[in-house]
Amino acid sequence: MAADDMTAHQDDRSGSDDVLRLLRTGTAAEHDAVEKALDLLDPQLDRARLASALAAMHAFWVAAERGLDAWAARSPEAADALDWTRRRRADLFAQDLRTLGSEAVPDLPELPDVAGTDEALGRLYVLEGSTLGGTFIDRHLATLPALAGVRLRAFSPYGADTGAMWAAFRRATRAHVAAGGDVDRIVAAARDTFATLADRCAPTARPHEVPA
């Protein structure tokens, strides 16, 4: 869900050591595992499986945002530069669950501590990149008779500002690396985040599509 397909052509024009390019290539397998687990573009997607996926995503987002909140409290200037407050989405997943008449699950996945801004950027790459795929998910959901009348907010929370918010994240990430950030730590954090998300969402997949 976190592919930056809408801007991939721009990243491809950058050097081979560009952090966004390395994030995209370095997390490709983990990203693919998340998409297979969720399978939200399935034409047979029904209300029950959508609610199950949203519950898993809500639990993941709550855990992921708690770590980022702790980082933001220690590094307020870096958090402000990333507009962290606007990027929080756990509450939107909770609202969407209520829209579907469902409830949040109480158990949260365990994620590594966000030790610094490198790790924060890696985690945010996953969370923010998902808004790009989210616009396609919203369009798909609108075509499904089983979900007629359902309007969700968490998949594409920024609406018309989706591209601008992603571009701002990319600029901030590149600026951090230019100022001495550690690309390997950023990529490692993104991979860990994707892996946790895939593990949390795997039970929501159709039985024949659960990743090995």
What pLDDT tens digit does each residue of the chain (212 aa) get?
A: 544 443 443 444 456 579 999 999 999 999 999 999 999 999 999 999 999 999 999 999 999 999 999 999 999 999 999 999 999 999 999 999 999 999 898 899 999 999 999 999 999 999 999 999 999 999 999 999 989 889 999 999 999 999 999 999 999 999 999 999 999 999 999 999 999 999 999 887 665 444 44
Q: Is 46 helix (H, G, I), strand (E, B) or coil?
A: coil
- Residue 202 has what pLDDT? 86
In total, how many domains does the chain have?
1
Q: Residue 70: which CATH number?
A: 1.20.910.10
CB-CB contact of 89 with 126 (8 Å): no
> 90 to each of 62, 106, 127, how far by Cα in Å?
5, 13, 11
- Residue 105 has what pLDDT? 85
Reading the block at residue 194, the tokens are 């994707």
CB-CB contact of 59 with 44 (8 Å): no
- Residue 158 has what pLDDT? 97
**pTM listed for this prediction:** 0.89
- Residue 206 has what pLDDT? 63
Domain that holds residue 64: 5-207
In whole angstroms, give the CA distance from residue 24 to residue 129: 10
Q: Is 69 helix (H, G, I), strand (E, B) or coil?
A: helix
**Is 212 part of any domain?**
no
CB-CB contact of 59 with 199 (8 Å): no
